Amino acid sequence: MSLLLLAGLARLAVAQDTPAPDTPVELGPAPPVAKSPPRLAIAGTQDFRFRYYQSDALLPDFEDRPRLLDHIEAVERLDLTARYGQFQLALRGDAAALFLNRYRLDGELVHENVLYRTGVRSPFPDALITLEKVSLTHRTGRSELTLGDSYAAFGRGYALNLAKNTEVDVDTSLRGLQGRVSVGNWDLQAVSGLTNPQQIALENPNVGIEPDRYHAITGARVSRYGLGPLNLGVHGAMFQFRHAADDLAAPLDAWTRPVDAATWGGSVQALGIGGVDLYAEADGTTYLTDGFGVDGGWAGYLSATAYPGKAVVLVEARRAFHAEAINTYARLNDYEVVSGPSLEYDRVITEDSAAAVDSNDIVGGRVRVDLALGGVSPDGEFTTFSPYLSVATFRDVDLGGLHFNETPETIVHPIVGVQYIRHEFTVLANAGARVDVRDGDGGADRMQHLDLAMEFPLSGPVSLAIDPTFMAFQWGDNGSAELQQHDFVDVANALAVKVGSPWAFILYTDYSDNPLVDSVGNLTDTLYAAGEAQWKPGPATTLKVFYGAYRAGIRCAGGQCRKMPGFEGAKLSFSTTF
Amino acid sequence: MRPFFALCLALCLSATAWANTGKPASDFSLRDINNVTHTLAQYRGSVVLINFWATWCGPCQVEMPHLQKMHTELAAKGLVVLGISADDARSASMVKPLVKNKGLGYTILLDPQTAVVSQYNPSKTLPMNVLVDRQGNVANVFSGYNPGDEVALRAAVDALLAAPK
């Protein structure tokens, strides 16, 4: 509660402060900025989740005692930033608690769904409160110095890519020191820190939380802009990984360990040469200790964009050879420290296509052509009408991971889509087919997919939104009974009735007969249904109530994929930004 | 159980009750899709609409025509729209093609390190709009987008533009 008290005092201070004087400055490249006295400002976001997990599972020999495995989880996340002049203090506090996760069975107390494992410190057996992120930043117009948690990425991510990724609960920062400065046409960035993955998940179940395993990462990038049409950058990073899961020595020891791997590389960007924007990057990786299976790797990425007439043509190519083996240790905690462009369509990544995304030996490219056929109507309304065609092709010779066969593959993945937006009428549609052709007589894996997001007004403030997705997968001959997989169909639908901005009522239905999906439907084994009501009492506040079930599956965001568990039960969530 | 819920309830209520006005918007420096550096401070004296979006965010793209319309109609009156892409390093090459395809005329900034996203939008809600008044104070925050939300956003922008300088 002391946090609230401090926040209240700060608010009082803000209210009593003198408002900044008016500064009528005309818009321009560098207008004079009137100095106003620094004021304390506190802002933040808070998210609360309450989940009631239903389980139809029965304990062996205790079939007469249903619902023993039901339990409740509550999660609270509070992001606070306090600013005073050029300083900013940012904090993220997370709390999670499990309830009804224990029961007496014939007089013996049994704990199911243990919240955290040995090594995680908490005074409460079924609750955990952590200060997930903390940072103090000093900013001037051209420089920034952060002590604590910050994010860093070099180039297109093949040398280092730790960006905020809250979408799939893998938000990993670097806790240490980071500085950025711009001097003329030069940008300099240097960072050294310990990886700090989020421990408490906001959207996923919190069960068996592992203690943080700190890896040390130190790197720098120098960029030079304005060399004629060229912009150049060079970067390098070194990685000191903590190898064993139970090796939880003092965090600072990570910096004293031998360097396990180093990445280095450079990028060239040229804008507007002959109407084409070019970007090229090459990165190398040296593995200095055992555990990666190789001594070195490299990656290359190239993009070229042209804008002929109403078209936008984007050509991308990539080659990766053991460049992402560097994620070996970080993946134990579901995140990656290096992640380059995959050129795949994130929404249809399956267990099989994930193998190509994370391949250690792959070359490929993608061509995408978008047409801008919309415009401004005489009544001043903007209309977006943008069809596109994308074709990606890869040659994947890495047989590790979830490859499900022992044959190199050639992958072709065309996608067509369209965006149409006018007034309140919206259509976003994407459809594609992917084929993974095996060398020799191994046949091919085939996938067809469609996703659609459509919204249109019904009457007055009432509108209807329909979001169906469909995916079918036909496996070829996987080469052995052990590796052979089964064809499947995945369907997910969301049907929403929206009443103005504040209210939405959504019906979800999922179907999946994919045997790799580790969940069971609530209507039948393969059919899931759920309902949700959403209420936005203000522009930055949302309350949601959910009841039902959805299936497990892979979800990808920011180049990182995570196997999300299914759910059956009830949820309540409350989010507000203040 | 009760203390935990009491704490959560207190946080929820205090957060909701916290009026979202009058707080100085912290400065930032980012490069746009043509590598020109922009700071928030350079737009002091204008009403600034900071829009967080990403190439993979459908609702963000549905909202964009409305932002473009506001930019077209209100730039001369002192509105500056800054679109900050939350795409990370790996999808940075897709930002400019999308901007060109949609014919967006307002400034698009790149934040591949999610530094400004972390600063203003720690939960990474997309889209999210932060409205900054002429004095450099945060006036409103709008999270998410449903068709029709642009009406309230436009009203807030109009009110700030009409406010005495």
Looking up residue B154, the CATH number of its domain turns out to be: 3.40.30.10
| For B46, nearest residue in chain A (alpha carbons) | A27
CB distance from A129 to chain B under 8 Å? no
Tell me the mean pLDDT in the region A50-63.
Answer: 83
| Nearest CA-CA partner of A267 in A222, A217, A325, A220 | A222
Q: In Å, how far is A553's CA from the nearest CA of chain B?
A: 19
Q: What's the number of domains chain B is made of?
A: 1
- Taking the C-alpha atoms of residue A570 and residue A54, their distance in angstroms, rounded to an integer, is 8
Burial B123-162 (b: 16+ CB within 10 A, else e): bbbbbbbbbbbbbbbbbbbbbbbbbbbbeebeebbeebbe
- Contact between A493 and A516 (Cβ < 8 Å): no
Provide the pLDDT confidence category of residue A356 given band limits of 50, 70 and 90: confident
- Contact between B139 and B156 (Cβ < 8 Å): yes
- Taking the C-alpha atoms of residue B108 and residue B97, their distance in angstroms, rounded to an integer, is 12
Query: Which A residues in the span 375-394 are in contact with B, Cβ-Cβ below 8 Å?
Result: 380-384, 386
Tokens of B13: 């209520």
In A, which residues are within 8 Å of B100 by CB distance?
305, 307, 312, 372
Question: In the beta sheet, which residues pair with residue A543?
Answer: A535, A574
Q: Give DSSP secondary structure letters for A270-325.
A: EEEETTEEEEEEEEEEEE-STTSSSSEEEEEEEEEEE--TTEEEEEEEEEEESSSG
Indicate which of A11, A178, A348, A501 best probes the interface with B, i.e. most B CBs within 10 Å of its own CB. A501
Helix or strand or coil: residue B94? helix
CB contact under 8 A, A312 and B97: yes
CB distance from A448 to chain B under 8 Å? no
- Contact between A393 and A347 (Cβ < 8 Å): no
Helix or strand or coil: residue A134? strand
- Lowest mean pLDDT across A208-222, B16-30, B131-145: B16-30
| For B66, nearest residue in chain A (alpha carbons) | A382
Query: Mean pLDDT in chain B?
Result: 88
Tokens of A8: 């209240």
- Residue B13 belongs to domain spanning: 2-162
Tens digit of pLDDT for each residue in A187-224? 999 999 999 999 999 988 998 898 888 899 999 999 99
In B, which residues are within 8 Å of A78 by CB distance?
11, 15
CB contact under 8 A, B142 and A305: no
Provide the pLDDT confidence category of residue B2 given band limits of 50, 70 and 90: low
In A, which residues are within 8 Å of B117 by CB distance?
164
CB distance from A112 to chain B under 8 Å? no
pTM: 0.89
Tell me the mean pLDDT in the region A291-320.
Answer: 96
Residues whose CB is less than 8 angstroms from the CB of residue A516 and which lie 6 or more positions away in sequence, other chains included? A351, A485, A488
How distant, in Å, are the alpha carbons of A224, B47, B70, B125, B126 from that of B156? Answer: 40, 11, 12, 20, 19
Tens digit of pLDDT for each residue in A245-271? 555 667 778 888 899 999 999 999 999
Tens digit of pLDDT for each residue in A357-410? 888 999 999 999 999 998 887 777 788 999 999 999 999 999 887 788 888 999
- Taking the C-alpha atoms of residue A257 and residue A22, their distance in angstroms, rounded to an integer, is 55
Query: In percent, how much of chain B has pLDDT > 70?
Result: 87
Q: In Å, how far is A304's CA from the nearest CA of chain B?
A: 9
CB contact under 8 A, B89 and A163: yes
- Taking the C-alpha atoms of residue A93 and residue B15, their distance in angstroms, rounded to an integer, is 14
CB contact under 8 A, B97 and A381: no
Q: In Å, how far is B57's CA from the nearest CA of chain A?
A: 11
Element (H, E) at A48: strand A40-53
